[in-house]
Structure 1
Amino acid sequence: MDRKQIIEDPQTGNKGEAFEAFDDIPANPNLTRTIGEVIASRYGRRDMLKGLLGVSASTALFGASALTAPRQADAAGTAASSRYAFDELAWGNDGTHHVAKGYDADILLRWGDPITADAPDFDVLNQTAQAQLQQFGYNNDYVGFTPLNTEGTRGLLCVNHEYTNEEVMFPALGRQDKADFAGMTRALVDIEMAAHGGSVVEITRGTDGKWAVVRDGSRNRRISPLNTVMTIDGPAAGHARMQTSADPSGAQVIGTLNNCAGGMTSWGTWLMAEENFHGYFWTDRLDADGKPDLSDQPEAAQMKRYGVPGRWYAWGKYHDRFNIDKDPNEANRFGWVVEVDPRNPEAAPVKHTALGRFRHEGAETTTSTDGHLVVYMGDDARFDYQYKYVSKGVVSDDPAANSKLLSDGTLYAARFDPDGSVHWLPLVHGEGPLTAENGFASQADVLIDARLAADALGATPMDRPEDAAPRGDGTAYIMLTNNARRKAGETDAANPRAKSRFGHIIEIKEDGGDHAATRGSWSILVKCGDPGIAAVGAEWNPETSDNGWFASPDNCAFDAEGRLWVATDQGSKWGKTGKSDGLYGVETEGSLRGHSKLFFRCPAGGELCGPCFAPDGETLFLAVQHPGTDGTKALTGFARASTFEDPATRWPDFNPQMPPRPSVVVVTKQGGGRIAG
């Protein structure tokens, strides 16, 4: 199925769903060694064909309790020794959000809310780019928090704005991808651009325990692909492939886009990950089938590997830099990790090319045993790779010096071996196949074409590696959200299945407990999906209730007590489970390893992002993006695609004059205290 067929498919309800479906088509031609094949080799084809793990393998992955058939617990679903002290929420799917008993979930920020002292009030019927640049942006994904006082009651919230849904964002417009963007104008495109990027917002906690925006905060600002000037550093800065007509130096770029997950550094800066950048690039040259004609592009192979141009937005019709016919190198300037100093509005954000160019999902940081900075990053695409970066220098008390650690280090791609070991393969020019003879003339080429470099090294194609959560003991948890394109011949019982729609979580333990190690071991924490349906092949701790299992792990975080929390993103396929996306506490140790409990769930059609805990553990920030849009044709009582005039929900305002609005939610415990404590 090609792009045109996906767009015209009557089951595709909006542009976001079309984009999701198109990304089901793998861009990686190197599919000879998938993670499924590795696991099949590790545990044996007989186990794979039986649909079961052998006793020894199952015990190694899940503990002895995994040999017990899953039970369906009662609605509370609380095992006696669970470290997550809350009454489990019941699963479901409706027009509003829900949180576990004894907690408040308050709306803190909504799309369009003014965030500067002189910002105009939001007028959804009279939007402008100028106003949007002073208002909270659209689809909020990653959330980070950095305190401004020792008590942690005042701080800066850093929020990514991933993408826009024009069919529920603008009145009387409808789906534009289906109409070849006939209704889009320069003004509407500029509003979309202004709504992308990120927001820095000062917030404070009152004596009543509630958080509020400090609208006159001197650091409040928007970051956008419309007007935010950024510098480029690292090995690719200034390279000929980074130079454009607007920037012949190759060292400066306007803006960032499709910022999905991210991270916060120990020195208080914010890392914004650029994910599906390919969708924003345009071409006027189409072949007879309506596909981009790259015959005149000198970097056609590289563009194809990255999916450029996606033509999912009309930006290139009005901004030449997003049209590859006019400025092909601009695409090389996106797909990076951007560092922002939220405390200093005058400091230009920096794109760190040492961390590689791919569809970044997450940039979670930690330190090695001897102080080197380590960043875990996934390439969120089917059959693409898990990466990590290790700095050359070590973290110090000097923030300026620490930021330079992101400019000089080694990027690695992961190879998962049949014996349960993981090998981190260095993407270093001149080593192994990464030579000029193979198309890599310099380290800049290796990093600009990180996907192709990882292909050449034989990294393991994964099932959409999304966020990662590293722990201080050398352990990291990798979220693999799904892969419906896995063929039957690639199936196995211990990891992603054929047409896997539910995903799994891999645990990595680095050798010596050192995150900078180039070797480690891997195992499976959970295989997601409904354990009550044998064909799904899900594996959870048997104490997990019917409320507790989930599908499509995406964002994740540790709280102050070292407990893992996982947010889900089923996209338009939530109808396969019937559950809204939500937040779950997942046990990683002991007899309850692989046990999960539902704490919060989204309104229908929304995706849960974040999560982010304040340092004292008493506040949980969550982001709900694209509420009322994804999969609404499967929503009982609605059963159609959402539009501005007719949305599946009007969360969170429930105002008949207002469409659904992506929002940040603040969760606190009634009466005070730590979340789940």
Structure 2
Amino acid sequence: MTRRDIINDPSIGNKAEAYEAFDDIPTNPNLSSTIGEVVAARYSRRDMFKGALAVTTTTALFGTSAMIAPKQAAAAGTSRYNFTELEWGNDTMHHVAEGYDAEILLRWGDPITAEAPEFDVMNQTAAAQLQQFGYNNDYVGFTALNEAGTRGLLCVNHEYTNEEVMFPGLGRQDRDGFRGMTPELIDIEMAAHGGTVVEIEKETTGEWRVERNGKYNRRITPLNTQMTISGPAAGHARMKTNADPEGMTVIGTLNNCAGGMTPWGTYLMAEENFHGYFWTSKLDGDGKPDLSTLPADEAKRHNRYGVPGMWYAWGTTHDRFDIDKEPNEPNRYGWIVEVDPRNPDAMPVKHTALGRFRHEGCETTQAADGRLVVYSGDDNRFDYQYKYVSNGTVSEDMAANSKLLSDGTLFVARFDEDGTIVWLPLVHGTGPLTAENGFNDQGDVMIDTRLAADLLGATPMDRPEDAQPRGDGSVYLMLTNNSKRKPDAVDAANPRPESSFGHIIEIKEDGGDHGAPKGTWSILVKCGDPSVAEVGALWNPETSQNGWFGSPDNAAIDADGRLWVSTDQGGNWGKTGKSDGLYAVETEGEARGTSKLFFRCPVGGEMCGPYFTDDQETLFVAVQHPGTDGTKDLVGFERDSTFEDPATRWPDFDPAMPPRPAVVVVTKQGGGKIAV
């Protein structure tokens, strides 16, 4: 299927869905050793499927509770999550478990500075948007400003924009060549991307509010935020442009999906689908970018990263996004960006030692000896899971800590059939990473991380998204789905061919040390409806019809070490009938593999965040693109959303206002820790 076919597919309701459908096409040519083949070798068909669930495999995955009658299992394995489970469904509202409040804290367009104008959706400007909360809030982080943790800085990523529900009278732009995207609308889109740092405070009533006069408040955008480049690719010839002949500075950050907070309180922004913002005027007969005039090695590099995607018209008004004019500009995106939220004057830093790929997140922890460890997945079908380990150790010196992100080793994962995970170093001169294969130095290895990982024989995964480390050396890897896995590439065991629902892998690093070069892996859950045999889902039998889910995406580990998983089904939520939500997933003991629904989104919205304060009394979650994805499946609406006619007007429910992405604060009624 070509890009043009996808754009004109009547079943696809908006540009974001079309973008994701096009990204279903893998860019990895190395599919000879897939995670499906490895899992199939580890868990045989006979072990997995003997009647409903085989004794050997079910016990291995879930413990003995799966072999006990449900009432006995409930008695034997007490849940560590104390709340009444929410009922599944899909409607125009958000819902939270009984006994909890879920209040809107920040919405797209809300002013975040004293000088910012009030939001006027019918008269938007780039200048106003630069002082207002951005669009499609994804990652949410928090760093306290006082000892009590009642005042702090909220750090929020803004991933992308949905112009058909963002601007009046515009409609789908990918279908008509972006003819309605004026220079001013493009600049508004750019100003709505990036990130927000804003001061918030918990009042004596227990409610959180935005401190609009906070001295730290600022927006970080691809329109006007200057950043510096550090690490092996800083100053590299392939990072130099007409505007930056030194290859040391870049304007802005793109498609910031998940992220992380460092042990020293800085904010990490992951650049994910950056390829979609680049443009070319050279097209073939199918409307696909024609790279035939480029040198063969350069065309190979661009193809491996999907550049140029042409899902935004920015390159028509900003030359740096037109690869015909600035062929090196794409190399300056796809990195991890560090922001010091306590210093508004500090220039953000792109850390090239962490590699260039479609970073879904960048969660940090420490090795046993104090070295910094960062886990990050490459969110594309058949791409890889990575881990970075610094050379130095975390200290009280802020300046020295930041340098840890530029001085270390990036590893890529190989999942072996015997349940071992091996971390392969991406170091120039190691194995095939030499000039003969196109890697002249470490800068090349980091700029072309995907191609280097291909040569090392890393295991292609089913869309690795968030990877959440826990202090005991465990890591929980969200594998969202892979609709392009062919039946001949996998065994019927796990994962599944054409998987629409994904699964979660648990990694145990050797010795409980996140800095270890290897560890073991196992499957925590295999997502989807367990009542439908053909789906082949695997949950602890205590999981209710409300508790199972599809497409795990972001995740969090709370102060008690418990795993929380949010979902992103995109336009495919109709396959489950459930809106996206936040689930409590048991990882220990008799209840291992059990899931409970805690929060669910309004129709068309994706569940993002989540983030707990240290005292575990506040949970921040984000709902992005409400009222957009899969709205044809909403009973009673059954059409595509537009600015004038959306499936929901959440969270304002104002007839003059379209749906607005927003951050939600969840607290326990009467106070106390969440789910305790």
TM-score range, shorter chain: over 0.9
DSSP-derived class of the 1:402 partner: helix
DSSP-derived class of the 2:656 partner: coil
1:615 matched to 2:614? The reply is yes
1:40 CA displacement: 1.2
Matches for 1:192-341 after TM superposition, within 5 Å:
192-298=189-295, 299-341=298-340
- Counterpart-to-counterpart distance in 2, 1:202 and 1:78: 45
Runs of 4+ in 1 over 4 A off after TM superposition: 45-54, 67-71, 77-80
Q: In the alignment, which residue of structure 2 is the partner of 1:575?
A: 574
- Counterpart-to-counterpart distance in 1, 2:493 and 2:673: 36
1:65 CA displacement: 2.7
- Counterpart-to-counterpart distance in 2, 1:48 and 1:80: 23
- Counterpart-to-counterpart distance in 1, 2:67 and 2:314: 54
Which range moved further: 289-298 or 90-99?
A: 289-298
Q: In the alignment, which residue of structure 2 is the partner of 1:164?
A: 161
Which range moved further: 365-374 or 289-298?
A: 289-298
Q: Can you list the C-alpha shifts for 1:431-485, whole angstroms capped at 9, x where unaligned?
A: 0010111111111111100000000000000000000110111110000000011
- Counterpart-to-counterpart distance in 2, 1:309 and 1:383: 20
1:145 matched to 2:142? The reply is yes
Matches for 1:560-571 after TM superposition, within 5 Å:
560-571=559-570
Q: In the alignment, which residue of structure 2 is the partner of 1:39?
A: 39
- Counterpart-to-counterpart distance in 2, 1:582 and 1:376: 23
**Contact 1:52–1:493 at 8 Å: present in 2 too?**
no
Aligned residue pairs, count: 673
1:108 matched to 2:100? The reply is no
- Counterpart-to-counterpart distance in 2, 1:38 and 1:503: 16
- Counterpart-to-counterpart distance in 2, 1:416 and 1:341: 35
1:59 CA displacement: 1.9
1:70 CA displacement: 8.1
2:87 to 86, 90, 97: 90
**Contact 1:381–1:463 at 8 Å: present in 2 too?**
yes
DSSP-derived class of the 2:439 partner: coil
The runs of 5 or more residues in structure 2 that have no matched partner are: none
Q: Can you list the C-alpha shifts for 1:579-629, whole angstroms capped at 9, x where unaligned?
A: 000000001000000111000000000000000011110000000000000
CA separation of 1:56 and 1:243: change in aligned 2, threshold 3 A? same
Q: In the alignment, which residue of structure 1 is the partner of 2:513?
A: 514
1:409 matched to 2:408? The reply is yes
Q: In the alignment, which residue of structure 2 is the partner of 1:128?
A: 125
DSSP-derived class of the 1:190 partner: helix
Which range moved further: 61-70 or 392-401?
A: 61-70
**Contact 2:44–2:493 at 8 Å: present in 1 too?**
no
Counterpart AA for 1:281: F
Matches for 1:271-670 after TM superposition, within 5 Å:
271-298=268-295, 299-670=298-669
- Counterpart-to-counterpart distance in 1, 2:43 and 2:556: 30
- Counterpart-to-counterpart distance in 2, 1:193 and 1:665: 24
**Contact 2:606–2:623 at 8 Å: present in 1 too?**
yes
- Counterpart-to-counterpart distance in 2, 1:331 and 1:418: 36
Q: Can you list the C-alpha shifts for 1:79-109, whole angstroms capped at 9, x where unaligned?
A: 9711111000000000010000010000000
- Counterpart-to-counterpart distance in 2, 1:601 and 1:673: 21
- Counterpart-to-counterpart distance in 2, 1:459 and 1:608: 30
Q: Can you list the C-alpha shifts for 1:181-238, whole angstroms capped at 9, x where unaligned?
A: 0111100000000000000010000000000000000000000000000000000000
Which range moved further: 497-506 or 38-47?
A: 38-47
- Counterpart-to-counterpart distance in 2, 1:78 and 1:231: 56
Counterpart AA for 1:43: Y
Counterpart AA for 2:42: R
- Counterpart-to-counterpart distance in 1, 2:294 and 2:432: 25
Q: In the alignment, which residue of structure 1 is the partner of 2:177?
A: 180
CA separation of 1:494 and 1:511: change in aligned 2, threshold 3 A? farther
RMSD: 1.5
Counterpart AA for 1:35: I
CA separation of 1:166 and 1:520: change in aligned 2, threshold 3 A? same
- Counterpart-to-counterpart distance in 2, 1:7 and 1:350: 36
**Contact 1:61–1:523 at 8 Å: present in 2 too?**
yes
1:493 CA displacement: 4.5
Counterpart AA for 2:410: L
CA separation of 1:69 and 1:181: change in aligned 2, threshold 3 A? farther
CA separation of 1:45 and 1:87: change in aligned 2, threshold 3 A? closer
- Counterpart-to-counterpart distance in 1, 2:235 and 2:442: 12
The runs of 5 or more residues in structure 1 that have no matched partner are: none
- Counterpart-to-counterpart distance in 1, 2:492 and 2:395: 45
TM-score in terms of structure 2 length? 0.98
Q: Can you list the C-alpha shifts for 1:159-180, whole angstroms capped at 9, x where unaligned?
A: 0000000000000000000111
Q: In the alignment, which residue of structure 1 is the partner of 2:96?
A: 99
Q: Can you list the C-alpha shifts for 1:343-375, whole angstroms capped at 9, x where unaligned?
A: 000100000000000000010000000001000
DSSP-derived class of the 2:362 partner: strand
DSSP-derived class of the 1:361 partner: coil
- Counterpart-to-counterpart distance in 2, 1:395 and 1:80: 38
Counterpart AA for 2:14: N
1:380 CA displacement: 0.3
Q: In the alignment, which residue of structure 2 is the partner of 1:154?
A: 151
- Counterpart-to-counterpart distance in 1, 2:343 and 2:324: 37
Which range moved further: 233-242 or 489-498?
A: 489-498
**Contact 1:495–1:504 at 8 Å: present in 2 too?**
no
Counterpart AA for 2:210: V
- Counterpart-to-counterpart distance in 2, 1:649 and 1:536: 31
**Contact 2:47–2:56 at 8 Å: present in 1 too?**
no
1:78 CA displacement: 11
Q: Can you list the C-alpha shifts for 1:27-81, whole angstroms capped at 9, x where unaligned?
A: 100000000001111223555786977533332222123346889x9xxx99971
CA separation of 1:78 and 1:239: change in aligned 2, threshold 3 A? farther
CA separation of 1:69 and 1:380: change in aligned 2, threshold 3 A? farther
**Contact 1:62–1:524 at 8 Å: present in 2 too?**
no
CA separation of 1:539 and 1:316: change in aligned 2, threshold 3 A? same
CA separation of 1:246 and 1:52: change in aligned 2, threshold 3 A? farther
CA separation of 1:491 and 1:134: change in aligned 2, threshold 3 A? same
1:492 CA displacement: 3.0
Q: Can you list the C-alpha shifts for 1:294-346, whole angstroms capped at 9, x where unaligned?
A: 12223110000000000000000000000000001000000000000000001
- Counterpart-to-counterpart distance in 1, 2:299 and 2:133: 37
Counterpart AA for 1:148: L
- Counterpart-to-counterpart distance in 2, 1:28 and 1:514: 31
- Counterpart-to-counterpart distance in 2, 1:576 and 1:272: 31
- Counterpart-to-counterpart distance in 2, 1:235 and 1:297: 25
DSSP-derived class of the 1:328 partner: coil
CA separation of 1:504 and 1:51: change in aligned 2, threshold 3 A? farther
DSSP-derived class of the 1:136 partner: coil
**Contact 1:78–1:87 at 8 Å: present in 2 too?**
no
Counterpart AA for 2:56: S
